[in-house]
Amino acid sequence: MTVYISDATYEALAQAAVTAQAWLEREESEHYSAADLQQAFLQWLESCIEQLAEEAMYHAFEGHDSYAFNRSAFRDRLNKLTPAFTPQEADQSIAA
C-alpha cells in the first residue's frame, strides 16, 4: 500500500530533518545527511500510522480520553457524518 504524503507534510519533514541534523551535531556530535534524516522521519511516520491503525478502537472510542491520541479530531469527523438507520443502509452507502 502506498501512502500519500501531502507536499506540506513532506516539507515539514524536510525541515524537521534539517533541525534534527543541527541538534544531533550540536548535542550528540553525530553527523547525518538531511536526506537520510528525512528518510528516517518518513519511515518513523509510517510506523506511527501503522501503530495508530492497530490501536484505532482504543484511540477513537475505548481508551481513557487523557491517553487517547487525537480523539477529538476523530469525533469531529464522525460528527460530520450522517448515520444510517440500518446496517444494510450503511453497507449500501459505502458501495455507492
Dist. CA 18–CA 34, nearest whole Å: 6
Residue 86 lies in a domain: no
Fill in the amino acid letter for 47: S
Residue 88 within a domain:
no
- Check: CB of residue 48 under 8 Å from CB of residue 5: no
Tally of domains within the chain = 1
Q: What is the DSSP letter of 63?
A: S
Quote the pTM value.
0.73
Cell numbers representing residue 84 in the block? 444510517
In a domain, 5, yes or no: yes
CB of 4 within 8 A of CB of 20?
no
pLDDT tens track of the chain, all 96 residues? 566 789 999 999 999 999 999 999 999 999 999 999 999 999 999 999 999 999 999 999 998 888 999 999 999 999 999 888 888 888 886 654
Measured in whole angstroms, how far is the alpha carbon of residue 14 from the centre of its chain? 16
Task: Provide the residue range defining the domain that includes 31.
Answer: 1-54
Does residue 6 lie in a domain region?
yes
